[in-house]
Amino acid sequence: MTTLWRRHALERFVLGYYRDWELPGIELLRVAVGSEGKASKGRAIDNGWTYVEAANCPLSMKHQAGFDAVRELDPDYVVLINSDDLLSKNYFAAVTGACAPDDVLALADLWFLDLRSSLVALGYFPGYRQTKVKGVRSGVFERDNLTLGAGRCFGRVALDEVDWQLWVEDIDRGLDGSCADRLLAAAGKQIQAHSMSELGVFAMDVKSGVNLWNFKDYKYGSVLRGGAVESVLASHGMAGILRISDCGFRNELCGDGT
């Protein structure tokens, strides 16, 4: 499941990236939640995604509308992909293999791609537990051991235990933490954190300008630039993202939560 909001070129790339995947033993059901009527519906349908319309604000209820729609499809697992998230092709097999039906699995680390700098940068973020930093914008590093939202995998039994209600308050920031709090309060369930290396996967969040959190808001273990970035992305079939020239614009409303 993904959400869409006013990053047309980037969204077309991301939707198209997942469009034609054929994964052995896995049936992918793609659902996109948009808020721009025919414009966002067209981008989703053209790329083979089922479309759901919902108001963009509050973002928590937009995401909840997506899960309500996905519930009707009766899946075994739900993987949340924001419209700026690119996951390696082996990701779905890896997370569904590691995540029990009554568990929720999330990444502990993540790569971030900065498309707004004069020289494109790819930063490795080792996780919140290593980056308790003062002076950064409120909300980014408030708690230890937070997992990332990109690619978060929900087992069907875990969703049933909270009646698929992952957000019960109207918020536009902090959706990942709010979801974790809901799982803990309603079902006593801790999200299981795994690193990309443990799963053998690659996952990346693209920072293009329409984001609640910017590239500079994270403390990186390493940063690649120039040809090194293209080499890494090419190895995962993602290099095409570097050729997008109009990824988005800074939005006066809510963005899509990432």
Q: How far apart are alpha carbons 143 and 149 in whole angstroms?
A: 15
How sure is the predictor about 23, in pLDDT bands with cuts at 50, 70 and 90? very high
Closest CA to 149 of 198, 94, 191, 120: 191
- For residue 250, pLDDT over 90 is answered with no
How sure is the predictor about 209, in pLDDT bands with cuts at 50, 70 and 90? low
- For residue 237, pLDDT over 90 is answered with yes
Whether residue 58 is preceded by a cis peptide bond, meaning omega within 30 degrees of 0, is: yes
> Could you tell me if 131 and 219 are in contact, meaning their C-beta atoms sit under 8 angstroms apart?
yes
> Could you tell me if 146 and 152 are in contact, meaning their C-beta atoms sit under 8 angstroms apart?
no
| 247 vs 4 pLDDT, higher one | 4
- Lowest mean pLDDT segment, chosen from 115-129, 155-169, 240-254: 240-254
At residue 143, the pLDDT reads: 46
226 torsion bin: left (phi>0), alpha (psi -120 to 50), beta (else): left
pLDDT tens digit sequence for 136-194 = 443 344 444 579 999 999 999 999 999 999 999 999 999 999 999 999 999 999 999 99
pLDDT tens digit sequence for 29-49 = 999 999 999 999 999 999 999
> Could you tell me if 238 and 200 are in contact, meaning their C-beta atoms sit under 8 angstroms apart?
no
Closest CA to 248 of 72, 62, 12, 30: 12
- CB-count exposure of residue 90 (10 Å: 0-12, 13-18, 19+): middle
For the domain spanning 2-243, the CATH number is 3.90.550.10
Q: Is the dihedral of CA 204, 206, 210, 211 positive or negative?
A: positive
- For residue 235, pLDDT over 70 is answered with yes
Q: Find the mean pLDDT for residues 54-60.
A: 97
